[in-house]
Amino acid sequence: MVYSVTYDNLYDRIAHTSIQIILLALGGIIVGVVAAVIFSKSITSALSHLKLKAEEIGAGNLDIDIEVQSQDEVGVLAETLENMVSDLKESQSALLENEKHTHEIELAAEIQQDLLPTDDFNFHNIDVAATIRPADEVGGDIYDIIPLSDKEALFYVGDVSGHGVPAGLISGMTNILVYGLVNNYQKVSDLVLTMNGALAAKTSKGKYVTMMMGRWHDERRQLIYTMGGHEPALFWQAKTGKFLETEKGGSPLGMIKKPLRPYTEYQLQIEPGDVLVVYTDGVNEAWNKKNQQFGMERFQEAVACAAAQKMSATEVLREIMRAVDEFRNGFIQKDDITLLVIVGK
């Protein structure tokens, strides 16, 4: 038996095969297009969902669930968005806590400022000025001027160990103690002794207050003062044009319940033109960018210059602060600065 293939049969088969290939290709294209449309819609839907969630986050709603379950790039994007929301929640919580802390610090600083004297003090024989500049929002330095009569007044400057809020709390306690006890004692040494016992009983170990406290008698032109471990005051005497040494020593208040030595009282006559400067160590220990301290020599030079020009107490104070600020030249203030200036007139 013999099979023969004619050209017509061959052309028919080729044509039939071609039609099948074309149909298969068209079918594949159609399936691909349909699959692409379906896949595109799924991606578009997921992206639209993420867009809406992102808009909610932008509006401030951080309590949302992204709700995208996918292992592809869209799933990665959703996971990233969820992580971002979590980080934003933590940052928002930290910001709120910081704002609360800042408000509390500002309130504490305001209360501390309210404890400072606000009245002008006019005495016949002396001119008085004082200032305090904390290194932080809340400082540990204190001072006060308390009129006892038209002829007497109590002055003091104190420096609490440490800085910031803990020191500020102790400075407030000290201020209140003075006000509560001042009318019960004629001698400043007795007043300081009682304050020492109270602070030692109510503060933790290592917390104490250095202090110079004096009682001014205007008619006698006499300051009776006692020292509680504080920096010795600067006293420039007009008639000699020199600094006279003032007393130092004494136990810081609150350091020990029973001081090894009693608080001693000293006398200082303040005549016209004399200048007394009571201060905290933030003045002489001010630093500059060259790692240098202001020091006592520069301090005395500023006082002497102002005193020689017969400046008022306010002017002397400003001259000292100007000299300190000029020396620091913008360098950070590391400690509280307090000055109380008395000028004889």
Instruction: Give the distance from CA 311 to its chain's centroid.
Output: 34
3-state secondary structure of 154: strand
- Region of 9 (left: φ > 0; alpha: ψ -120 to 50; beta: rest) is alpha
Cross-strand partners of 78:
none
Query: In whole angstroms, what is the distance from residue 46 CA to residue 173 CA?
Result: 63
Q: Decide: helix, strand or coil at residue 113.
A: helix
Spell out a b/e string for 216-245, using b for 16 or more CB atoms within 10 Å of the CB, else e: bbbeebebbbbbbbbbebbbbbbeeeebee
Q: Which residues of 261-319 form beta strands (DSSP E)?
A: 265-269, 275-279
Q: Across the strands, what pairs with 223?
A: 216, 268
Say which DSSP state 36 is in.
H
Region 122-344: CATH code: 3.60.40.10
Confidence (pLDDT) at 322: 97
Instruction: Tell me the two tokens of residue 23.
Output: 């149909």
- Residue 5's pLDDT is 52
Global pTM value: 0.72
Burial of 263 (0-12, 13-18, 19+ CB in 10 A): buried
Q: Where in the chain is the domain with CATH 3.60.40.10?
A: 122-344
Amino acid at 287: W
CA distance 243 to 232: 12
Query: What is the three-class DSSP state of 80?
Result: helix
Q: What is the mean pLDDT of each run of 10 residues along the chain (345 residues)?
A: 57 70 68 55 55 61 61 59 67 67 60 69 90 83 92 95 83 91 95 96 90 97 97 97 95 92 96 98 95 96 96 96 96 94 96
